């Protein structure tokens, strides 16, 4: 049980109190200061299906050491109920990116400033709605319906430095850089078709 006794504020009483504090085995320090100013309403800088970036105006308080970020999922949390997604940013920077969001979800954000004396009041809230996630890329597999045996082409004697091949479905052309010429072959049986050669490249 603690009993409080009145002490007259006489010179002797104050001197006695000072002596007791000076001899105390525990540290005695005076506490001063206050919690920081409330941050301004945050602004949503960017929204993606997997992230939200917000920022807020600098409260012009040099004692701020970090910020606490609060978030409410409007689909799963009742009005007024927020979760702390970042207790202390550890920096006076006035921007934060939330990478724990889900696609197609509506969120509400608030911010508190932090200093050595505690947390400020909550800022006014700001809402952010994430878009749907982009569709997964589709991979199409093409099958070769041609004869598995294929066609063997015997290149012309002069056509030994081929640099490109293309076809229109019946004829295949093989470019030869050393001859400055394109040689034509039948795609059906691989035979030469000199009538379709292209000269003077």
Could you tell me if 114 and 157 lie in one domain? no
CATH number at residue 92: 2.60.40.10
DSSP per residue, 28-72: -------PPPPPPPPEEEEEETTEEEEE------TT--EEEEEEE
> Where does a domain end: 99, 129, 159?
129
Please state, in angstroms and rounded to a whole number, the distance separating the CA atoms of residues 189 and 166. Answer: 16
Could you tell me if 123 and 65 lie in one domain? yes
Per-residue model confidence (pLDDT) at position 163: 61
**In angstroms, what is the C-alpha Rg of the chain?**
40
The tens digit of pLDDT for each residue in 90-109 reads 999 999 999 999 999 999 99
Place of tokens 């001197």: 15
| pTM across the whole model | 0.55
Q: Does a structural domain hold residue 13?
A: no
- β-pair partners for 183: 174
Could you tell me if 162 and 106 lie in one domain? no
Q: What is the mean pLDDT of residues 172-191?
A: 80
pLDDT surpasses 60 at 16? no
Residue-range definition of the domain harbouring residue 166: 151-201
Cβ pair 57, 39 in contact under 8 A: yes
Cβ pair 35, 119 in contact under 8 A: yes
Per-residue model confidence (pLDDT) at position 138: 56
For the chain, the domain total comes to 2
Helix (H, G, I), strand (E, B) or coil at 100: coil
The tens digit of pLDDT for each residue in 129-142 reads 999 998 865 545 44
Confidence of residue 192 (pLDDT cuts 50, 70, 90): confident
Q: Does a structural domain hold residue 9?
A: no
């Amino acid at each position: 049980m603690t009993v409080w006794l009145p002490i007259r504020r006489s010179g002797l009483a104050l001197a006695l109190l000072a002596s007791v504090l000076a001899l105390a085995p525990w540290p005695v320090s005076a506490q001063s200061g206050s919690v920081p100013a409330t941050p301004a309403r945050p602004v949503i800088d960017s929204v993606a299906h997997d992230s939200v970036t917000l920022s807020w105006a600098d409260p012009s308080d040099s004692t701020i050491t970090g910020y606490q970020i609060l978030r409410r999922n409007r689909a799963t949390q009742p009005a007024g109920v927020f979760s702390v997604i970042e207790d202390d940013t550890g920096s006076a920077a006035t921007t934060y990116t939330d990478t724990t969001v889900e696609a197609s979800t509506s969120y509400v954000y608030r911010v508190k400033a932090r200093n050595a004396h505690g947390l400020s009041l909550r800022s006014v809230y700001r809402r952010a709605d994430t878009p749907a996630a982009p569709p997964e890329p589709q991979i199409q597999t093409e099958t070769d319906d041609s004869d598995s045996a294929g066609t063997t082409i015997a290149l012309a004697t002069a056509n030994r430095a081929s640099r490109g091949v293309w076809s229109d479905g019946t004829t295949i052309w093989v470019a030869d850089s050393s001859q400055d010429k394109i040689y034509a072959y039948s795609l059906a049986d691989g035979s030469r078709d000199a009538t379709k050669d292209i000269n003077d490249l």
